[in-house]
Amino acid sequence: DHMLDQLASHGLFDVYVKATGDTHIDDHHSNEDIALAIGTALLQALGDRKGINRFGHFTAPLDEAAVEVILDLSGRPHLSCGLSIPTERVGTYDTQLVEHFFQSLVNTSGMTLHIRQLAGNNSHHIIEATFKAFARALRQATEYDLRRQGTIPSSKGVLSRS
């Protein structure tokens, strides 16, 4: 939930998650289900995406770590994740689930998402910088562009929906 707090705080999104799951086994299903729900909510909230910026790009540092996120709310799901998290766990959280979280979110939201780790050797800092950069890039992409005057941000006049 610390990383979801980053999404809400840095993205300026209202995020409320109440989840129950089989965390006595591991966090995999809860991690995946929360990402799928957030992706679905984002897809529904965006609708036809009229007037939004569509693209977002942000680089966030956290101490020695720096992560760059580039995204396109194109309606075409794709994830390119270049994280090198040095430990298998942060506390009880399996660090492999970071990429799985974003893959699940991408699959349901129809977003193209590129994540690149520029620096870092502390697993917690790398993960937190990733969520902060993602939140800021998503905020940028979803903000309304007054100059677009409510049109769809595409030269084709339409964005695909997943």
Give the residue-averaged pLDDT of 79-86.
98
CATH number of the domain where residue 22 is located: 3.30.230.40
Count of domains forming the chain:
1
98 domain residue, yes or no: yes
Give the residue-averaged pLDDT of 137-157.
86
88 domain residue, yes or no: yes
Domain span at residue 87 reads: 1-142
Model confidence pLDDT, tens digit, residues 116-126: 999 999 999 99
148 domain residue, yes or no: no
Q: Is the pLDDT confidence value at 162 over 50?
A: no
149 domain residue, yes or no: no
Give the residue-averaged pLDDT of 156-162.
64
35 domain residue, yes or no: yes
Strand order in the sheet with 65-72: 55-62, 65-72, 112-119, 78-82
- DSSP label at 24? T
3 domain residue, yes or no: yes
Q: Quick one: tokens of 134?
A: 């993602």
Instruction: Kindly list the distances between the CA atom of residue 21 and the CA atoms of 32, 63, 134, in Å, as whole numbers in the listed order.
Output: 11, 33, 25
Phi, psi of 96 (to 5 degrees): -65, -20
Model confidence pLDDT, tens digit, residues 33-80: 999 999 999 999 998 899 999 999 999 999 999 999 999 999 999 999
Model confidence at 104, pLDDT cuts 50, 70, 90, reads very high
Q: Of 50, 48, 82, 67, which is closest to residue 6 (Cα–Cα)?
A: 67
158 domain residue, yes or no: no
pLDDT for res 56 = 98
Q: Of 102, 81, 80, which is closest to residue 36 (Cα–Cα)?
A: 102
End-to-end CA distance of the chain: 27
86 domain residue, yes or no: yes
pTM: 0.90
